[in-house]
Amino acid sequence: MFAQDQTAVTAFLTDPVTHGAETVETIETHISRIFLVGQRAFKMKRAVKLPYVDFSSPELRLKACRREVELNAATAPRLYLGVRRIMRDHEGRLVFDDGEELADAVVEMVRFDQGSLFDRMAIEGRLTAELVTRAAGMIARFHHAAPVVHQGSGSANIAAVLRINNEGFATSRVFKTDELAGFNHAFERKLVDYAPLLDAREVAGNVRRCHGDLHLRNICLLNGEPRLFDCIEFNDQIATVDTLYDLAFLLMDLWHRGFPQLANLVMNRYLDESADEDGFVLLPYLMAIRAAVRAHVAATQVEESNDDPGRLVAEARSYFDLALSLLDPVPPKLIAIGGLSGSGKTTVTEALAAHVGTPPGARIIESDRIRKALHGVPAERKLPASAYRPEMSETVYREMACRAASILRAGGSVVVDAVFDKVTNRDRIEQMARNLQVPCSRIWLEADSAVLRNRVAARTAGPSDADLGILSRQLASETGDVHWSRTNANRGVDQVVREILSLQARG
């Protein structure tokens, strides 16, 4: 009955005459249909009833449309225009808004170029580090403002997600019963391990009413700014989650699509802005859950689709396999990157970190960002000379070692990035690794003085305040005996990273 009712509504929305237009384009998802007409888009909820969503009546669909507009207005201003009711008039014809009987409802939106979607930009090679850095900051601010919800423990919240996943897998026949049993058991076993940390995060207010569906296709570039849209409006339980579980969908999506460096960058910039580092070690597990969500959704679509089921089966399997791989533990490790200003430490570190530890890679502890954070200013703001007094630098290096130790102790991997021109600072980071019995690779980047000067002179705004004067003082200073592995940084970053990974592999 539902499908029959929506057949008429779909025909109404597909007909150009309805809109006074020449053409109507249609996009389908597993729970929605979008009709593109001129400068407008009309989004209709499909008449489905699944374990996690109920759109089985026009009234429920109207309610969901209103909720969608309300929730998305904050993150995508001016994109959502309102809700249009589709009514039957006294002659049984479908009309917008003016009639006697509710037949359905749609969300009316401003139509935007599909090329501005982050998934399309990623595929076409247009998703840059600068764009994902801005997106990470935007997401961190959104999470900071999201309402805190206390409705049970943090582990119970994740357990509810696992139950929904299990129910979703049960509606398909893509995966065998025995492999699903092992799959589900692996997630439940990990949940026991992480329950204390998840519970502590809930008490601290990290479970909030979040976006709920934060992947690349739900971020777009509007008026030059990254914006979130199309959040979960139909199920508050799904969207009320740990903020890092919300972020994990984007990280998993980037990783699955083959953009590990961007995933690592988003993670690091988000944690820089949110100061939510205590949950870093949860991210592989939370990404695994997000991959499982994708697997069961794709598997469910196989049962409903007559269009290329083999593609959907392969998609479901790829997410399933990624989820399993994310559950494999990787022992923590530390890589310390040192060198004078202009040696390329930050560039190398950002290219290297995705290859260290479990996805989304290593947490980057960077002296320049630590110094700015200790002074309470944004990373791009220049500090006065007083911020670089020896006693302040001592504080920065102590803080770096303390934060790295905390992450390593919890089981995460770290890449530390600093000049490390003083023997005491090099000794401190080495001793910390020895105390924790964590493998430590120590890399000293060397480059010709002319290369260092050219790189420093070419810098634009960023976390480092080093200028040619500072570099000159570094070149004239005594670094002592540097017993770290020396790497030629005159070369391209890819060559340097390959050498570091090779050194690490050889121990």
Please check whether residues 265 and 358 belong to one and the same domain: no
Please check whether residues 98 and 216 belong to one and the same domain: no
Please check whether residues 500 and 367 belong to one and the same domain: yes
pLDDT above 90 for 462: no
Question: Using one digit for the tens of pLDDT, what is the confidence trace for 212-232?
Answer: 999 999 999 998 999 999 999
Domain count, the chain: 3
Domain boundary among 86, 111, 136: 111
Please check whether residues 105 and 134 belong to one and the same domain: no
What pTM was estimated for this model as a whole?
Answer: 0.92
For 121-148, b where at least 16 C-beta lie within 10 A, e where not — what string? bbeeeebeeebbbbbbbbbbebbeebee
- At residue 134 the predicted structure's pLDDT band, cuts being 50, 70 and 90, is very high
pLDDT above 50 for 370: yes
Contact 42, 106 (CB under 8 A): yes
Average pLDDT for the chain: 93
Domain boundary among 83, 111, 139: 111
Domain that holds residue 228: 118-326
Orientation angle between helical segments 243-256 and 309-326, nearest 10 degrees: 120
Question: Using one digit for the tens of pLDDT, what is the confidence trace for 317-347?
Answer: 999 999 999 999 899 999 999 999 999 999 9
Q: How far is CA 140 from the centre of its chain?
A: 10
Please check whether residues 188 and 248 belong to one and the same domain: yes
Domain boundary among 304, 326, 348: 326
Please check whether residues 139 and 105 belong to one and the same domain: no
Please check whether residues 301 and 359 belong to one and the same domain: no
The two tokens of residue 471 are 């570099």
Contact 304, 30 (CB under 8 A): yes
Question: Using one digit for the tens of pLDDT, what is the confidence trace for 257-271?
Answer: 999 999 999 999 999
Please check whether residues 394 and 473 belong to one and the same domain: yes
- At residue 306 the predicted structure's pLDDT band, cuts being 50, 70 and 90, is low
Question: Using one digit for the tens of pLDDT, what is the confidence trace for 17-74?
Answer: 999 999 999 998 878 999 999 999 999 999 998 877 899 999 999 999 999 999 999 8
Nearest-angstrom CA–CA distance, 266 and 254: 10
Please check whether residues 486 and 387 belong to one and the same domain: yes
Residue 430: give its domain's CATH number: 3.40.50.300
